[in-house]
Amino acid sequence: MSGRKQNKRLDAAALLPGLSRGMGAHVKTKVLPVPFKGRQLPDVRLSDHSPFWDEGYNAVMVTDTSFMRNPHYHQPSDTIETLNLPFLQAVIDGLDAAISGC
């Protein structure tokens, strides 16, 4: 199993500059490496990427830090009406550009 896992790993550090450029053309982007699987910064483990870290896979978290800014985040009031849809579209466009460039 670990050999299979090892073969599936990408050199995430090598991909980050290109991903950041693709995203940066659409939204303000900052690459912040997170050492030790984020265990020293628990807030960065709140997303779906942390179980991949825990199993030894590289994973990337793309966030607009909404959990720090949006009082509706993961609350009953977290509805479509509380989202910044133009910003969401810019993030989607940035992700598309970043992933297409890999």
Task: Check if the beta carbon of residue 58 is closer than 8 Å to that of residue 9.
Answer: yes
Write down the pLDDT at residue 45. Answer: 85
Interval 15-64: pLDDT, tens: 788 888 888 888 888 888 788 888 888 888 887 888 988 998 887 777 77
CA 5 – CA 57 distance, rounded (Å):
7
68-75 long-range contacts (CB < 8 A, ≥24 apart) are: 68/43
Task: Check if the beta carbon of residue 98 is closer than 8 Å to that of residue 23.
Answer: yes
Domain residues for the domain of 31 are 2-100
Distant-in-sequence, close-in-space partners of 34: CB < 8 Å, separation ≥ 6: 41, 44, 61
Which pair of tokens denotes residue 99? 């992933």
> Which has more pLDDT, 3 or 98?
98
> Which has more pLDDT, 50 or 12?
50
Write down the pLDDT at residue 81. Answer: 93
CA 28, 68, 96, 14 dihedral sign is positive
Q: How many domains does the chain have?
A: 1
**Residue percentage of the chain with pLDDT more than 70:** 86
> Which has more pLDDT, 95 or 63?
95
Q: How far is CA 60 from the centre of its chain?
A: 5
